[in-house]
Structure formats: C-alpha cells, structure tokens
Amino acid sequence: MKTATKVIAAVLIFLLLAGIIGIVLAFTNGGNEDFKTFYIEKDGKNILASETSDVVYAGTPVTYKVHYTFDVGKTEKRDYIVKILPNEKQDFDYTVDGKHTSWKELGEKAGLLFRIDKGEDSFTVTSLTGVENVMLDALGLIHPGKDVALPVDFDGEKPYFTLYVASYNESVKFFIC
C-alpha cells in the first residue's frame, strides 16, 4: 500500500510540474519572451508575441479581446491602450507641397483612416478606406488641402500601419503590423 501511495504521489507531483511548465510556456510565447500578465485574443486564439502580423480589410471590423492573466474574479477592470501608429520598419519619405516628410514621424496621426471602438474588455478596429489608395487617402487626411506625393518606388503592399496595444501601465506592449 505504501508503494502505491508513493507512485500516485510521484505521478501527481509530475503532473503538477508539467502543468506549471505548460502554463509558463503558454504565457511566454514558448519561452521566447517574458511572462505575459496582459495579452490579447483574436478569433479565440491568444496573441502572446510582442510583434505579430495581421490584416485589417476596408470596412471589415476586426475585434480583439484583452485579458489580464491574474484578474480572474476581480470586478474592477483594468484599462488598456490601443492606437494606430506608423510602422517604423516601413519608413519612407514623401512630399507635402514639395517638402520631404518622414512617415514614421507622424505618430498617432497615421491612424486617421481607422476607427477604434474601445470597450471594457475588447476593441474593434475598422479601416475606413479601400486598399488601392490607402496611403494617399491617409496622407490627404493628415495634410488636408496640400499637394501630397508618394515616392515613385512606393510599394503599397507593405504593412505601413501598426496596431499598438498595451497594458494600462504599458509594461506589456503588442505591435501588430
């Protein structure tokens, strides 16, 4: 009887350790990042990587849920930050009334072509323009009444926008391009 108890105890300890390791790996993107106390979810799939890619099509809303790992059972929800920024990895220069301007220096103005509907535990992003002239439309809204020109070699297929999502204190940040 003592041997059976020892075997059962050893199996339970092993399962407990395996469960703990599994949880840590799940919330560290397979051990590649720090433990996430804040994460987002899209279509039932958790997004734990700090940088990931996604597409928002014109007129099609995309909803993300926000979660704080240790807020189970708490009645007061923590806030979060969500905004559209220029993707700094896809920087380019364009002209406004003949003056060269850098895309990445626009900051939050780059998000004028998107609507963000922020709720308590989720947000929805909707692109307000079509794909064909998205950059000219965006720059036209940012610089109204001015002559805006893109570079001749501009590639409209690259991810020029970044969806920035962060915890209330910005200790955890996500960049979705």
Average pLDDT, stretch 88-112?
90
- What is the rounded distance in angstroms from the CA atom of residue 48 to the CA atom of residue 34? 10
Residue 152's alpha-carbon distances to 13, 94, 138, in angstroms, are 64, 10, 17
- What is the rounded distance in angstroms from the CA atom of residue 140 to the CA atom of residue 137? 5
- Least confident segment among 37-41, 91-95, 144-148: 37-41
- What is the rounded distance in angstroms from the CA atom of residue 140 to the CA atom of residue 41? 33
pTM above threshold 0.95: no
Q: How confident is the model at residue 177 (pLDDT cuts 50, 70, 90)?
A: low
Give pLDDT, residue 33.
Answer: 47
Rg (C-alpha) for the chain, rounded Å, is: 22
Give pLDDT, residue 13.
Answer: 80
- What is the rounded distance in angstroms from the CA atom of residue 73 to the CA atom of residue 51? 29
Q: Could you report how far apart the first and last alpha carbons of the chain are, in Å?
A: 59
Cβ(32)–Cβ(166) below 8 Å:
no
Q: Higher confidence at residue 163 or residue 51?
A: 163
